[in-house]
Amino acid sequence: MEPIALAVIGGTGVYKLAALDDVQTHDVETIYGAPSGPVRVGLLNGQRVAFLARHGEGHSIPPHKINYRANLAALKQLGATRVLALNTVGGITDNFGPRVLACPDQLIDYTWGRISTLSEEAGSEVLHVDFGHPYTPSFRAKVLAAAKAKGVVMQDGGCYGATQGPRLETNAEIARMRRDGCDLVGMTGMPEAGLARELGLEYACLAIVANWAAGCGEAEEITMAEVLANVEAASAGLPTLVGELAKG
């Protein structure tokens, strides 16, 4: 099987990579079950790039029901070694307002009840991976370099707080997250990042800020129309960025 230069996992509002040519569809089964949907593999700037919609291509899977293990295992089975995770998030602190692209360097996990390790089944190896830097530093550097090379404005760093969902957070919960040091809030950052580390995949997050989190900014109510419009605007440079990153 030909190697895959880059695998991309799309979040809310990003259900395909339209820039891919010669797309082949792979329905993959893993030891953890089926992923969220088919993996689309195509060419971008002459490089093989894989794409998987985290919530399914029709956004039918809520955050707590995603089979994160199967998603990552499917990409690895197809030959991926590097995963760029696109996460639609809310902004908490001043530098992370709507339509900002950010490449966070830290995270805090507030989720519960999700299968969060490859060590879940009886008899499986007990894995104690180093997770001090939850996103692969060398891969993060390449994401930032690709953005700079293509003129895509990106916020370097920040802390992603992963919440349970699918409901949005209360004002008090966001205030607590701000005190904890979170800059961004999303629902799918974990256990995905931890599982990627256990699988030995290089992994980085590209956070797409769709709205201010509860109690931040001026909007009193967050609407899906607003979220999707902001995601579309912030994602305009993604094909160019992914194509540059796939080069190596």
Annotated binding site for phosphate: 12, 54-55, 188
How far is Cα 211 from Cα 222, in angstroms, rounded to an integer? Answer: 7
Integer CA distances (angstroms), 90 to 65, 80, 84, 175, 222, in order: 20, 29, 19, 13, 10
Q: Which residues are annotated as a binding site for substrate?
A: 187, 211-213
Gap between the Cα atoms of 237 and 127, Å rounded: 37
CA–CA distance, 8 with 51 (Å, rounded to integer): 5
| Dihedral Cα 243, 246, 247, 248, nearest 10 deg | 150
- Longest C-alpha distance within the chain, in Å? 52
